[in-house]
Amino acid sequence: MKTIILDTETTGTDAEDRICQLAFLVLDEEGEVVEHYDELCLPPLPIKYESMAIHHITPEMVEGRPACVETEGFRRLEELNTPENILVIQNAPFDLKMLAKEGFENRMGLIDTFRIVRRFLPEQKQQGQQYLRYALGLYRQEPEMLARLGVGQLRPHDALGDVIVLKHLYDYLRQRMEPREMLRHCAAPMLLEILPMGRHRGKRIEDLALEHRNDLLYMLENFDLDIDLRYSLESWLDRTKDRIQVTIGFGKYKGKTPEEVAGVDRSYLEWMLEKADRIPAELKAELARVLGR
């Protein structure tokens, strides 16, 4: 079994964008680096200035380079792409989507360190690699790794630099959890306890489901949530549904229960049920109950 720790840099973050740098480390079963690859490659479209400002890869640096699929690193990645190996990526959906544009379909076990950190290190205010690099003291291990790989300096937002940080983050996580357990967690939606985004960031989702329920329902309806966030909001809303009163989340009766409004403005409830768009399912059910539908 080998573990591949991977990162890419790209021409941008939109649907049409492609890889301009591919880097990965190959670890043996003891977690030691046995191979490393750092490939600049020529993408089929220009690198956007917004991306250059982050990773500092310019058109001149990729001019004359092979396409991603023609690099030694990509060919080796394809050879390693077997079910007994493990692929470690920070925020895996982005890199896997970019690799898919090169024809790469992952068959390795997948560990997404972003998801693991967000679920099991909720005390960390951020989950980004550079934040964790300092918050967890990972930077102290870098000089030895740089010397071993023959790399002069670690550059943030460079694919190889980020892979080195990710290797140390993975080592940190392995001290607390077996890779097999991380694989199991990453194979299914994870139940988060702390909301990691928005104006309620840092609060317990269970408490929000009781005290700011409509805010969570709004997020579900309007935000592009990842698999763990959507699963967590839906789960905590379901787990707390017997402990709350369903209230109206908008309009002139915001904060009132349908039961309270029925006595003074039944026609408003009828309008909501029949005409208003995007009403949460549990509010619809309560409206129907109160109206006898």
* pLDDT for res 152: 82
Q: What is the CATH number of the domain that holds 44?
A: 3.30.420.10
Domain match, 218 and 171 both? no
> CA-based Rg of the chain, rounded to a whole angstrom?
24
Domain match, 232 and 260 both? no
Question: How many helices (H) and strands (E) would you count in the chain?
Answer: 15, 5
Please identify, among 186, 202, 217, the residue that sits at the C-terminal boundary of a domain: 186
Phi, psi (deg, nearest 5) at residue 252: -70, -15
DSSP string, 201-261: TTSBHHHHHHHSHHHHHHHHHHS---HHHHHHHHHHHHHTGGGS-----SSTTTT--HHHH
* pLDDT for res 261: 86
CA distance 93 to 167: 18
For 52-61, what is each residue's pLDDT tens digit?
Answer: 999 999 999 9
CA distance 18 to 10: 5
For 88-143, what is each residue's pLDDT tens digit?
Answer: 999 999 999 999 999 999 999 999 999 999 999 999 999 999 999 999 999 999 99
Element (H, E) at 283: helix 281-291
Domain match, 53 and 164 both? yes
* pLDDT for res 280: 79
CA distance 170 to 193: 22
Angle between helices 266-274 and 281-291 (to 10 degrees): 130
Query: Order of strands across the sheet with 3-10?
Result: 33-40, 19-27, 3-10, 86-89, 109-112
Residue 159 pLDDT greater than 90, yes or no? yes
Domain match, 64 and 178 both? yes
- Give pTM, 2 decimals: 0.88
Average of per-residue pLDDT across 252-257: 87
Domain match, 130 and 41 both? yes
Domain match, 176 and 119 both? yes
Number of domains in the chain: 3
Domain match, 152 and 208 both? no
Average of per-residue pLDDT across 157-165: 94
Domain match, 80 and 181 both? yes
Domain match, 172 and 29 both? yes
Residue 155's pLDDT band (cuts 50, 70, 90): confident
Please identify, among 244, 261, 276, the residue that sits at the C-terminal boundary of a domain: 244
Please identify, among 212, 228, 244, the residue that sits at the C-terminal boundary of a domain: 244
Domain match, 56 and 158 both? yes
64-68, 237-241, 284-288: which range is least confident on average?
A: 284-288
For 203-235, what is each residue's pLDDT tens digit?
Answer: 999 999 999 998 998 899 889 999 999 999 999
180 token code pair: 């097999």
Domain that holds residue 277: 250-293
* pLDDT for res 127: 93
Domain match, 178 and 195 both? no
Domain match, 40 and 24 both? yes
Residue 292 pLDDT greater than 90, yes or no? no
Q: Closest by alpha carbon to 10, among 39, 49, 51?
A: 51
